Amino acid sequence: MDPMDETKDRHAMRSRRYRIGATAIAVAAAVALLVWVGGNDTVMGSAQTGLARITSGILNLLGHRTVVSGNTVSSGLFGITVVTACTGLFTTGLFLIAVLAYPTGWRSKLLGAGLGIGGIFALNVIRLVSLYYIGVHLPGFLDSAHQLIWQSVLIVFAVALWLLWAGRWTYAPREA
Amino acid sequence: MRRAKRSTTKPTRWTTELARFVAVFLGVMALLAGLWSFLAPTYSTVVTWLARPLFRLFEAPNVTVLDARGAEIWIYRIVGPGEIAPFTWFDRYTFFAVIPLLALLVATPGLGWRRRLVKTGLGIGALVAAHTAYLIASVELSYVAIGLMPVGAFVARTLDVWQVGVRILWEAAPVAIWIALTLLAWKRLLRKLKTERRDEVPSGDALRVSG
């Protein structure tokens, strides 16, 4: 083997090991952050209240008269309470971990993170608004919509968004 | 010109592949979600059957009594000789994740039927194990949270973290299992896509030169 080729191979191997190590550390840090955020009442409380305010703002734009009290959006007709599971935090966190774990450049990862955070947040707001409407107009359907339909839609949305990103906006690193 | 070709031809195939994946997922989901009320009691019975001996293994003395009532699982606590009191319950949606998992496995492209069936069996087995672990962990952590089970200072201090961790594992289980089972199929598909895209670049150059 040509000594130059051997040196190149060694460099490529070292670079690959470095990338795998950096990715593993980033993923571990993201998991730790996700668990910490999920268990932090102040952060989660702010997220719940913020989401409740946004949902209420959209509902009011759509002509409803809702008010926010803590993490509860209510009107004379119906009320929804935004709890930890409703924030989309876990779905977003898992999406970000999948983005970090995928072997591609940091610019692509940043794009993936932006897509995931924005996309899942937007869908979650749509979910909350729709659940309010379902609660007002089809209360008998609320349980199924909340637990069955939206749970599945969120899963397939996150998975499809990740696959779309991985297939369209990533590239294989040079050494791979 | 190269950019125009890149964004109009190959990515469209990927988008089509994804649209097919989403459509099959939603179709299968709709079908299976309708069957969930019939499947849930059996699933809950299996989880209860698996969890009972494990509770005996983890608890000394064993204080938890499980009762599968239709699709729900009720947890009772032994409070005295021959006396039990209801402690908590898991509703009929607790184990619903088996349906999205099945839909994900059916919708995954690039798998033959035999392989798909094997993976479905493995996936359900893994999810039943994850759900059994979730049931046990969440009950035991609830005991700790309300002071019914003494634990060390470290666990007591980090109880929130454990509870959130269990919750994340429960939520992530179907997707994590699906990823583990279909990673190779997706890798193959993504590699093929990237190879096609890479091969496309010289042809774009050629077009530019000839044009």
Q: Over the stretch B1-25, which tens digit does the pLDDT of each residue have?
A: 444 444 444 444 788 888 999 999 9
Q: At what angle do helices B159-210 and A150-168 cross, to 10 degrees?
A: 40
> Residue A52, Cα to own-chain centre: how many angstroms?
17
Q: What is the DSSP-derived secondary structure letter of residue B149?
A: S
Average pLDDT, chain A: 87
Taking CB atoms and an 8 Å limit, are B14 and A167 in contact across chains? Answer: yes
> What distance in Å separates the CA atoms of residue B200 and residue B207, rounded to the nearest whole number?
11
Copy the structure tokens of residue A128: 């909350």
> What distance in Å separates the CA atoms of residue B132 and residue B68, rounded to the nearest whole number?
13
Contacts 24+ apart (CB under 8 A), A65-72: A66/A132, A71/A45
Q: Is A81 helix (H, G, I), strand (E, B) or coil?
A: strand
Cβ atoms < 10 Å from Cβ of A145? 18
Instruction: Supply φ then ψ for residue A127, to 5 degrees.
Output: -60, -45
pLDDT of A1 strictly over 70 = no
CB distance B86 to B74 below 8 Å: yes
Chain B residues in contact with A38 (beta carbon < 8 A): 164, 167-168
Q: Is the dihedral of CA B35, B40, B42, B43 positive or negative?
A: positive
pLDDT per residue as tens digits for the range B19-61:
999 999 999 999 998 898 899 999 999 999 999 999 999 888 8
B193 inside 8 A of chain A by CB: yes
> What distance in Å separates the CA atoms of residue B172 and residue A156, rounded to the nearest whole number?
13
Mean pLDDT of A70-79: 91
Taking CB atoms and an 8 Å limit, are B18 and A149 in contact across chains? Answer: no
CB-nearest partner of A35 from B14, B36, B161: B161
Paired sense of beta strands A72-74 and B64-69, if any: unpaired
Residue B54 C-alpha, separation from nearest chain A C-alpha, in angstroms: 26
At residue A172, the pLDDT reads: 57
Instruction: Supply φ then ψ for residue B96, to 5 degrees.
Output: -65, -20
Mean pLDDT of B91-118: 92
Helix then strand count (H, E) for chain A reads: 6, 3
Residue of A nearest to B99 (CA): A152
Taking CB atoms and an 8 Å limit, are A159 and B194 in contact across chains? Answer: no
Residue of B nearest to A161 (CA): B18
Chain A residues in contact with B104 (beta carbon < 8 A): 155-156, 159
| Amino acid sitting at position B152 | G
Copy the structure tokens of residue A84: 């930890």
Chain A residues in contact with B99 (beta carbon < 8 A): 148, 152
> What distance in Å separates the CA atoms of residue B36 and residue A4, rounded to the nearest whole number?
62
Mean pLDDT of A150-171: 89
Chain A residues in contact with B25 (beta carbon < 8 A): 152, 156
Instruction: Supply φ then ψ for residue B159, to 5 degrees.
Output: -55, -45
Chain B residues in contact with A94 (beta carbon < 8 A): 168, 171-172, 175
> What distance in Å separates the CA atoms of residue B141 and residue B139, rounded to the nearest whole number?
5
Mean pLDDT of B82-97: 92
| Amino acid sitting at position A164 | L
A60 to A53, A57, A171, B161: CA distances (angstroms): 10, 5, 43, 36
Mean pLDDT is lowest, of A10-24, A119-133, B107-121, for A10-24
Higher pLDDT, A136 or B161: A136
ipTM: 0.77
Q: Is B112 helix (H, G, I), strand (E, B) or coil?
A: coil
> Residue B99, Cα to own-chain centre: how many angstroms?
9
Higher pLDDT, A159 or A173: A159
pLDDT per residue as tens digits for the range A105-150:
889 999 999 999 999 999 999 999 999 999 999 999 998 898 888 9
Residue B89 C-alpha, separation from nearest chain A C-alpha, in angstroms: 16
CB distance B116 to B181 below 8 Å: no
Considering only residues 107 to 166 of chain B, which have any Cβ-Cβ distance to chain A shorter than 8 Å? 160-161, 163-165
| Amino acid sitting at position B173 | A
> What distance in Å separates the CA atoms of residue A153 and residue B100, rounded to the nearest whole number?
9
B37 inside 8 A of chain A by CB: no
Residue B135 C-alpha, separation from nearest chain A C-alpha, in angstroms: 18
Residue A109 C-alpha, separation from nearest chain B C-alpha, in angstroms: 16
Taking CB atoms and an 8 Å limit, are A167 and B193 in contact across chains? Answer: yes
pLDDT of A175 strictly over 50 = no
Q: How confident is the model at residue B200 (pLDDT cuts 50, 70, 90)?
A: low
How far separated are the first and last CA of chain A, in Å rounded?
Answer: 20
> What distance in Å separates the CA atoms of residue B36 and residue B43, rounded to the nearest whole number?
10
What's the whole-model pTM score?
0.82
Taking CB atoms and an 8 Å limit, are B164 and A159 in contact across chains? Answer: no
Helices (H), chain B: 2-8, 10-58, 98-107, 113-145, 153-157, 159-210
Mean pLDDT is lowest, of B58-67, B90-99, B116-125, B190-199, for B190-199
Higher pLDDT, B140 or B150: B140
Residue with tokens 């795998």: A20
Residue B193 C-alpha, separation from nearest chain A C-alpha, in angstroms: 7
At residue B206, the pLDDT reads: 39
